[in-house]
Amino acid sequence: MKTTDMNLRAAHPKTFIHESERDYRNQIRAAADSIYRHRNERPIVLISGPSGAGKTTTAMLLEKYLDRAGAESTTLSMDNYFLPLTPEENALAKQQKLDLETPARLDMELLNSQMRDLMEQKPVVVPKFDFVTNTRIEGAGMLLERKPDEIIIMEGIHALNPAVTGESDDFTTRIYISVRTRIADAADTEMHPMKVRLMRRMLRDKLTRGREISGTLNMLDSVKAGEDKHIMPYKYRANFEFDTFLKYELNVYKALLGDDVKALAATDERLVDMARILDELEPMGTEYIPADSLIREFIGGSSFEY
């Protein structure tokens, strides 16, 4: 998609946002229809994708569609299955010397056991992980017993890795999501879709986590290496693939992020293409963005709890 096309559509922001949201949600609706039809033999849905893809909102919107169709559903984050860090690992993590992307961080034995129990409608206590202390909160787990016809949605970066989710293909539907659309500037020079996810993470860190975007950028290489090693190799296992790019989102990011990116691009060549794209775009406000939009996961103001 070209910046010139985005600017033409940005002249009518309400329509631009509505049509972009509709295109994204149509992908979810199509998958929801199939999941609903096969809910008895495949009651568990696994959603995977790299950082910034919008896994959490996608899972919650899928749950919304399934509930409306009459299939009760529950969404679980696989992040709660992380293993507690030792004091030594915590120290390494603070120095950014610990691989936080590896599937070895997950309690795979517990996850596999609980997936099988949920399939068989046996009660489980889903753990609760505290990311401030990097420990599992004892006694804070959620008791869950899948009802007949209930669908369990599990989202996490390693959800399609068979080493993590075990021999579950016969009772799961698998979804891979990411940004797939390439953005071209006026000279037809394209920006890799990964840069859109980076912008999302920058905004989330800046607006909701109080982190400088330079800090987000500092983690880029390690995050990308983890994605290439632990996530991308398994996307072929997906039954559905979603492109989570919303055609209006970069016009919104222009106002929220443009000056910051331009300043950093002066000394970091990794942001030159991003700065050029944002510079060409007309800014848009956030007033027409739905409260349940995927974009709200990154800019705040969502009706969902993350």
Residue 159: pLDDT band by 50, 70, 90 thresholds? very high
Cα(63)–Cα(235) distance, integer angstroms = 21
- pLDDT at res. 101: 83
pLDDT at residue 97 is higher than 90: no
- pLDDT at res. 134: 86
Quote the DSSP letter at residue 283. Answer: P
pLDDT by residue (tens digit) across 20-74? 999 999 999 999 999 999 999 999 999 999 999 999 999 999 999 999 999 999 9
Cα(34)–Cα(4) distance, integer angstroms = 37
The mean predicted confidence, pLDDT, of the chain is 94
pLDDT by residue (tens digit) across 230-241? 999 999 999 999
For residue 1, give Cα distances in angstroms to 5, 6, 64, 168, 242. 7, 8, 29, 37, 17
- pLDDT at res. 251: 98
Centroid of chain to Cα 159: 12
Residue 218: pLDDT band by 50, 70, 90 thresholds? confident
Residue type, 184: A
